[in-house]
Structure 1
Amino acid sequence: MVDKHFTINLNEPLVFQVGHLGEDYNEWVHQPIISKEGPRLFTNDFCEFFTRTVWWVIPLIWLPVIGWLVSISARRGLTSHQVTYALLGGVFVWTLLEYSLHRFLFHIKTKSYWANTLHYLLHGCHHKHPMDGLRLVFPPAAAAILCVPVWASFRLLSSPSTAPALFGGCLLGYVIYDVTHYYLHHGKPSKGFAQNLKKYHLNHHFRVQSLGFGITSPIWDRVFGTLPSTKAA
């Protein structure tokens, strides 16, 4: 199938096609295709393998890392209460990081070949194919790369005993975010907070992509004025 208006062949690997869209890329990527079958991104099987991640891999990999980080802070002298506060502080930091990354990086407007290509890999493929269940959580290898500057910041801004637990809390926030994100797309909450959050997030995908950047909570959208109106929700 060829999208004639945008000269994209949807039956061929997409990554190295989208860059040619130029200024039309932002319009194309926000016209979602509703299908649980995701597209092929790369011709190379090795590269393609690393674009697909089942949701349960995220807690499987990162929860032991969080436990290890907490144990480091405990061995360095933090009490159980201090570890708890550091973990909660890290989760709080993550909520702001989640919002900021989604708003300012994942939704940056691009038009050059390589900027379009990188954006599509980072977040554009999710908006184009929002129900692709294997591209809803962040691949661990890519997450590990993003962890480097975050860990460096915690080391710089906090004590050697506090930094591991703070970073562990930030990772815990990330795990909650990723599994929540998967649930909002494929879960079927019938009432309450989860149902409202699902409506809120799907509104971002299908109606107002320029608002509603919170995933686990709309709190920072309220603070920074990016909360969609109730009429659009």
Structure 2
Amino acid sequence: MSATLRNSTIRSGRSFDLGKMNLRQLWVAYLTYPTILLYFALIVISVALVVHLAPGWVPLAASVVAVMLVYPLVWYLLHRYVLHGQWLYKSRWTAALWKRIHFDHHQDPHLLDVLFGAPATTLPTIAAVTIPVGWLIGGWGCSAAAFGTGVTITCIYEFFHCIQHLNYKPKAAWIQKMKAWHVLHHFHDEDINFGITSYVVDRAFGTLYTDAKSRPRSPTVFNLGYDIEEAQRYPWVMELTGSAPRDRPDGARPSSRTDRTAA
């Protein structure tokens, strides 16, 4: 684990390695994690605003459904073109942002501290996507409903994202499949399977792959293209990390079979 990640863990006073946790331990960590508690509070506030502003059942339902339809597409586009884009680390002013929102997660996929998005980046994004949708449908009451729906979906995404990195084999076949496809994203090729709970958009854009044998393993799956050469040209992420970018996370072995089955 990098020095920066260790310091972050020390400051937060808690650390969770999903690769060493079971489902019960995940529930405890998830339901007590400050970011998730903040999301829960915002959902309650959103519901209170909806009740107070009384937008009506039809526009309310339309707002909720609209966000549910838009959210997977927005997540896909952000994940593929922003989180996996290279332009953020090429600027001194945005390197720290890119490091926090995604590079650290690919460097250490099991670390819960960096798996959850930071509220300072997630909440403005959720608001920017959902509030205008609600407003166009039915004013501020629907905006509150749309924002609350976005935060709720984020909570669901975050929980299943944890499951995908947890030392646990789900009993439900659909969760097993979802987890296996996400594992391919982290351990075989970072340019496939950008979804979390839904891969409909991946299928539509041609980035859904269900078998590691269907394409060669990416040499940049753990560093997202920020290798030693890039770090020398754009050193800010490396300086913040305190060490050179790694080609493999801690504990990973070079076996392709391990890459396909690690979770």
Q: Is TM-score (shorter-chain normalized) higher than 0.5?
A: yes
Asked whether the 8 Å contact 2:59–2:138 carries over to 1, the reply is no
Amino acid at match of 1:153: P
Moved more, 58-67 or 149-158: 149-158
Question: Does residue 224 of the first structure (1) align with residue 202 of the second (2)?
Answer: no
TM-score, with length taken from structure 2: 0.63
Question: Does residue 136 of the first structure (1) align with residue 108 of the second (2)?
Answer: no
Question: Does residue 208 of the first structure (1) align with residue 189 of the second (2)?
Answer: yes
**Partner of residue 90, structure 2:** 112
**Partner of residue 36, structure 1:** none
Q: 1:173-229, CA deviations, whole angstroms, 9 ceiling, x for partnerless residues?
A: 111111111111114214410000000001000111111100111111011111125
Asked whether the 8 Å contact 2:60–2:145 carries over to 1, the reply is yes
Q: 1:39-90, CA deviations, whole angstroms, 9 ceiling, x for partnerless residues?
A: 33669x7xx5399795333442223322322332333333345434422322
Measure the CA separation in 2 of the matches of 1:207 and 1:128.
Answer: 13
**Partner of residue 40, structure 1:** 6
Residue 55 of structure 1, aligned match among 30, 39, 42: 30
Alignment of structure 1 residues 191-202 onto 2, 5 Å:
191-202=172-183
RMSD, matched Cα: 3.0
Identity %: 25
Deviation at 1:172, TM superposition (A): 1.4
SS in 1 for 2:112: coil
Measure the CA separation in 2 of the matches of 1:105 and 1:76.
Answer: 35
Amino acid at match of 2:163: Y
Question: Does residue 179 of the first structure (1) align with residue 159 of the second (2)?
Answer: yes
SS in 2 for 1:134: helix
Amino acid at match of 2:199: P
Measure the CA separation in 2 of the matches of 1:182 and 1:131.
Answer: 8
Asked whether the 8 Å contact 1:154–1:163 carries over to 2, the reply is yes
Q: Which has the higher helix share?
A: 2
Residue 168 of structure 1, aligned match among 127, 148, 156: 148
SS in 1 for 2:85: coil
Alignment of structure 1 residues 36-115 onto 2, 5 Å:
39-40=5-6, 48-49=11-12, 55-56=30-31, 57=33, 58-80=35-57, 82-110=59-87, 112=90, 114=92, 115=94
Cα separation, partners in 2 of 1:66 and 1:81, compared to 1, 3 Å: farther
Moved more, 102-111 or 54-63: 54-63
Amino acid at match of 1:134: D
Cα separation, partners in 2 of 1:80 and 1:59, compared to 1, 3 Å: farther
Cα separation, partners in 2 of 1:120 and 1:11, compared to 1, 3 Å: closer
Corresponding residue pairs, total: 196
SS in 2 for 1:130: coil
Residue 124 of structure 1, aligned match among 90, 98, 103: 103
Asked whether the 8 Å contact 2:76–2:195 carries over to 1, the reply is yes
Measure the CA separation in 1 of the matches of 2:145 and 2:90.
Answer: 40
Amino acid at match of 1:149: A
Asked whether the 8 Å contact 2:164–2:182 carries over to 1, the reply is yes
Cα separation, partners in 2 of 1:144 and 1:170, compared to 1, 3 Å: closer
Measure the CA separation in 2 of the matches of 1:126 and 1:215.
Answer: 14
Residue 149 of structure 1, aligned match among 128, 131, 134: 128
Cα separation, partners in 2 of 1:152 and 1:75, compared to 1, 3 Å: closer
